[in-house]
Structure 1
Amino acid sequence: MNVFEAVKGNVTTRQAAEMYGIRVNRHGMAVCPFHNDKNPSMKVDMRFHCFACQADGDAVDFVSRLFGLPSKEAAMKLADDFGICYDSRQKPSVRPKIREPTPEQRYQQEENRCYKVLTDYFHSLRAWKQQYAPKQPEDEWHPLFVEALQRESYIEYLLDILLYGTPEEKKTLVAEQRKEVMKLEQRFAEPTAYNDRGRSQRKSGLDR
């Protein structure tokens, strides 16, 4: 199986988009990274299609456009990043060079990263709220249950700004939360961060 067959049989464009930090809402729409898009105008599912700039294609086409790579190198990047096996004879001896992102692209990557980290945290808070809820009135409240009660609404508020706020509001939020997003990333990276050892773990400290 060559790299194109392996990738197209295992990765949807939505999976690829979300892997590289593109936010896709519950209706399958995203802000198009291929033009100066202000509102979600790109449909992302098995394939992608932008109703504004008419960009269209599959996961390989999407990554090719996003990183400025030829199709084969884009397919190889997807295979590597998703851990997909394929015929190694398709691999060239020299890895492709990825062009340097523009300042606008760097900011968009940072905004996407902020959204992804906060989304992961929000889903964790909702899970903790159910998982660690006290079973009896006299039970001691688990620290992660307390954290969920205290932070769920605030994180949802931040996500609403990233989804529906003005460009100025989004940039301000990303700048203010940069250090805290890094702390959350480190917290997610710890294998024991969300188990019962959370009793002794300090809270992430996102500034209200």
Structure 2
Amino acid sequence: MNVFDAVKQSVTTRQAAEIYGVKVRRNNMASCPFHNDRIPSMKVDKRFHCFGCGADGDVIDFVSRLYGISSLEAAQKIASDFGISYDSKPVKAKPKKVVHKKSDAQIYAEAEQRCFRVLSDYYHLLRKWEMDYAPNMEDETWHPLFVEALQKKSHLEYLLDILVFGEIEEKALLVMEYGKEVTLLEQRISKFTCREAETSIGSSQ
């Protein structure tokens, strides 16, 4: 049996907490040692959970956090302090996940794709507004979304042409210049989409 299993089967978090100086009351509540806890907010039994700061785990997690040591060191400390025997063969550490950092080229490619997607969605929205809000009478007051469609549609066509047919330098400059505007447009498009979905659901009921 390795040190982790041996410790977890032999010692509760409450037993460890008490031997390491944490006072546990009869109702299994204690002042949390992991934050400034004036009123006891940590429940300590086989495991521990603090309702104040959210700290949670088993006896090894508790000791590891209490002393700022690794899980293996915490398990070994508990085993030594409580006289627990265990198989001393080295414990194989779980392989760490390798986090592959994105290259500058990948980051730019994603930014360009996002820019094209958002501007394309906005362009289709402008075309929809141009049709949906077109005035029926000559003296009718133009809807703000119809006006926006007339003002912005040609410029959007120009930007989309650059992203499709432009040189890499032109594309990169466009993506850089329109970064903030693309974020705002994405939020605005999302609001309109949600609003239309709610209207559609309401009309169908």
Normalised by the length of structure 1, the TM-score is: 0.45
Look at both structures and tell me which one has the larger radius of gyration over its CA atoms.
2
Higher helix share: 2
Q: TM-score, normalised by structure 2?
A: 0.46
